[in-house]
Amino acid sequence: MLLCLAEAEQKPAGDTDREIHAQAPPASLSFALSPELTVEREGLLQAVVFVHCQLVAGQNEGSIKPPCPGAPPQLTMDARVCEHAGPTLLLKAHRAAYKVRAFMEQVTIIGTGCAGLTAALYTARANLNPLVLTGTMPGGLLTTTSVVENFPGFPEGIDGYELMTRMQKQAERFGARVRFGTVEKVELGSKPLRLTVDGEQVETQALIIATGAGHRHLGLPSEEKLEKKGVTYCATCDGALPMFRNKPLVVVGGGDSACEEALYLTRFGSIVYLVHRRDQLRASKIMAERVLGNPKIKPVWDSVVTEVLDVAKDTVTGVRLKNVKTQAESVLDCAGVFVAIGHAPNTAIFQGQLDMDDNGYLITRQGTATRVPGVFAAGDCVDHVYRQAITAAGQGCAAAIDAERYLAALAR
């Protein structure tokens, strides 16, 4: 597999751009290969080539990078748009006259949240040309947040999606290659390290794991059956849906996430019930004060959801509650249930290969190193204590520096 070592050549001006944005049928493009690549002539073989295109801010333009030095051999192929992931466009070539042998990445980063993109920025600026794999949620959990008010440098706050888009652009500016792809398997027992990404092999000398965390579920069968039928884990993504407009809504949880969800939902719901299993919020003081002072939010203390109603109707009509102090049961009518009870680390693919605690958080030592040399971890997949955007970014920076030093030592 060839990973982003191609450069557009001899294309009529504007041709590539038009193809990208029109998402048009296959068009012929000509690429020049980097001289470091080994090219084997094997007749007309299928070759998958990902070429990164960087959008020029504010304009619908694309350009292909990075430039390849020297006088490279020529490769002509048909290309078409196959993915559109935020500001990065991936072109997929589907017919090529050459097979290009895989080459090894210096550093691969899994995850494009705060930790992953900060690691990308630092490794890119260290000329390590990092490959950055998005997973299924490009930009990570912060893209599901409305306004981020506690990331330094943004006194008015910044939209979570915009913050992550800016981070990606900043990393790409220095040569990070962000690719839409999900890592299905890792083989960390030998060198080079191997990843299977959407069925394709990637070999890498160093790996930075920044896979973040996913939403924790209540674990109720009715919750699972009614997911996307009124049960959701993201108010910013789903809150504005017509099914929730001017209807009573329930948020479950007592942390910052639950408070943020409840506040956001006051824009849409007739009333927002905040169901919490204790009589005190875990959230930061400022968030708790905002929630408790909002007339559209009604806390329901000491209560847990025991069932989401109504599976028989295939839509959410309410929740069955139990008061944990009195054991009294009740039903609360609502059109939506927004579960915000924390997160679980996305580390299942590393099970048995890396050390992790009972909750699945990766265990690091000496900074961001895991027990496998060359494998580093940062952000919400490691940190169950601070779990902030800025601490994740800091750990991503540390992981990049650790990886850079590891690679420098390898080269000596």
Residues contributing to the site for ligand NAP (CB under 6 A): 150, 218, 252-258, 260, 277-278, 282, 284, 304, 341-343, 387-388
CA-CA distances (angstroms) from residue 323 to 172, 187, 251, 280? Answer: 51, 47, 16, 14
> Which is closer to ligand NAP, CB of 37 or CB of 250?
250
Tokens of 95: 């017919």
State the catalytic residue, choosing from 15, 198, 237, 333.
Answer: 237
Among left, alpha and beta (phi > 0; psi -120 to 50; other), residue 182 is: beta
Out of 68, 114, 238, 334, which one is annotated catalytic?
A: 238
Token duo for residue 12: 């009529």
Choice between 160 and 230, CB closer to ligand NAP: 160
Please state the closest distance from residue 340 (CB atom) to ligand NAP, in A. Answer: 6
Long-range contacts of 320-325, Cβ-Cβ distance < 8 Å, separation of 24 or more: 321/275, 324/277
Nearest residue to ligand NAP, by Cβ distance, number only: 255
Least distance (Å) from ligand NAP to the CB of residue 378?
A: 16
Query: Is the N-terminal amide bond of 66 cis, ω within 30° of 0?
Result: yes
Q: CB 51 → ligand NAP: shortest distance, Å?
A: 36
| C-alpha to C-alpha distance for 207 and 121, rounded to whole angstroms | 15
Let me know if 114 is a catalytic residue: no
At 377, list the tokens.
């971890």
Q: How far is the CB of 164 from ligand NAP (least distance, A)?
A: 15
Backbone angles phi, psi at 50, to 5 degrees: -100, 125
Phi, psi of 143 (to 5 degrees): -70, -15
In the DSSP assignment, the letter for residue 314 is T
- Nearer of residues 235 and 354 to ligand NAP, judged by Cβ: 235
Which among 256, 49, 234, 203 has a CA at the least distance from the CA of 137?
A: 234
Residue closer to ligand NAP by CB (options 245, 322) is 322
Phi/psi at 236 (5° precision): -65, -35
User: Does the annotation mark 234 as catalytic?
Assistant: yes
Does the active-site annotation cover 238? Answer: yes
Looking at residue 353, the DSSP 8-state letter turns out to be T
Nearest alpha-carbon partner for 281 in 251, 256, 249: 256
**Phi then psi dihedrals of residue 197, to 5 deg:** -115, 110
Toward ligand NAP, which CB reaches closer, 94 or 322?
322
Give all strands (DSSP E) within 210-296, no chain letters: 213-215, 231-232, 248-252, 271-275
Residue 190, Cβ neighbours under 10 Å: how many?
7
Using the minimum distance from each CB to ligand NAP, give the nearer residue, 254 or 374.
254
Work out how close the CB of 212 gets to ligand NAP at its nearest, in angstroms, rounded to a whole number. Answer: 11
Comparing CB distances to ligand NAP, the nearer of 19 and 302 is: 302
Name the active-site residue from 53, 114, 234, 259: 234
CB of 92 to ligand NAP, least distance (A): 36
Nearest distance, CB of residue 210 and ligand NAP, angstroms: 16
Active site residues: 234, 237-238
